[in-house]
């Protein structure tokens, strides 16, 4: 009985903030709040940055997951810890580290400036890098786990049946891990969409360049709570859609 009471309290703990958001929402001006130039910019930027970060995670993360799962690499657990670090380190610290490594004061940043006239902080590219930095580990561990789960003997059988390495990858390995590629990408994308700390630290809060939805929400809450809540509702709606899309993988009781 006592357990039940605590469980109900826990449910309330999750449900109340959501209800609060809905209750405080200024429904009459919602459309105006969401279509103001600043909000539209933030929406567009969030889409560009989160999708860009996801693309980066797919392009770099898939081979990395493959290496972690399959290749004979020395110090594999050390390598994996390095990859997972951004999941554990506070995002602000991650952003600070990116700034230290790629900012204009750093050797790499200095070289980029000298050679190409590129200064990363303040640009959308920097926002994408910051989001990818924190989001990619989600994709990598999901895919690595899936690749480890593939029965290697299936690949051997496929080879015996006349399939070369590329065919085995295309017709056996990737189809088997396909659902995990998708859910890993969605996880990474959701993480990139909500990214705040590393972005604000490394890329800054520049309207039209790096001010994504979370940055815009935090800024607006200080001036006009209603429009901040309106933008928050967009992020909640997106999360609900993601959860619904992945319900088969996460919500189904085994």
Interface contacts to another protein, rule CB under 8 A: 151, 153-154, 156-164, 167, 171-172, 175-176, 178
What is the longest distance spanned by two Cα atoms in the chain?
69
Q: Residue 168 Cβ, how far from another protein at the closest point, in Å? A: 8
As given in the structure block, the two tokens for residue 85 are 């670090």
* DSSP-based three-state secondary structure for 135: helix
What angle separates helix 124-149 from helix 91-102, to the nearest 10 degrees?
Answer: 120
E strands in 11-62: none
Torsion of CA 183, 184, 187, 188, to 10 degrees: -150
Which residue number, 51 or 169, has a Cβ lying nearer to another protein?
169
* Between 184 and 228, CB nearer to another protein: 184
* 21 vs 159, beta carbon nearer another protein: 159
Smallest distance from the beta carbon of 173 to another protein, in angstroms? 10
CB of 158 to another protein, least distance (A): 7
Q: What is the total residue count of the chain?
A: 254
Which candidate, 167, 172, 171, 180, places its Cα nearest to that of 154? Answer: 172
**Residue 119 or residue 163: which is nearer to another protein going by CB?**
163
> What is the DSSP code string of 56-75?
HHHHHHHHHHHHHHHS--TT
């Amino acid at each position: 009985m006592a357990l039940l009471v605590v469980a109900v309290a826990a449910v309330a703990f999750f449900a109340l903030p959501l209800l609060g958001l809905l209750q405080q929402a200024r429904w009459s001006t919602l459309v105006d709040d969401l279509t103001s130039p600043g909000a539209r910019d933030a929406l567009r930027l969030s889409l560009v940055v989160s999708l860009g970060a996801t693309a980066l995670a797919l392009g770099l993360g898939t081979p990395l997951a493959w290496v972690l799962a399959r290749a004979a690499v020395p110090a594999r657990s050390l390598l994996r810890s390095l990859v997972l670090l951004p999941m554990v380190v506070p995002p602000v610290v991650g952003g600070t580290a990116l700034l230290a490594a790629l900012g204009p004061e750093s050797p790499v940043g200095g070289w980029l400036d000298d050679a190409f006239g590129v200064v990363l902080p303040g640009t959308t590219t920097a926002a994408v890098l910051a989001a990818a930095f924190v989001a990619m580990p989600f994709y990598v561990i999901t895919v690595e786990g899936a690749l480890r789960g593939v029965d290697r003997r299936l690949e051997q059988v496929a080879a015996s049946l006349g399939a070369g390495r590329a065919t085995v990858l295309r017709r056996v390995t990737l189809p088997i891990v396909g659902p995990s590629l998708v859910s890993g990408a969605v996880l990474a994308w959701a993480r990139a969409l909500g990214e705040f700390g590393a972005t604000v630290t490394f890329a800054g809060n520049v309207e039209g360049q790096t001010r994504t939805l979370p940055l815009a929400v935090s800024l607006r809450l200080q001036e006009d709570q209603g429009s901040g809540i309106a933008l928050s509702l967009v992020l909640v709606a997106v999360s609900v859609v993601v959860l619904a899309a992945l319900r088969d993988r996460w919500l189904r009781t085994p």
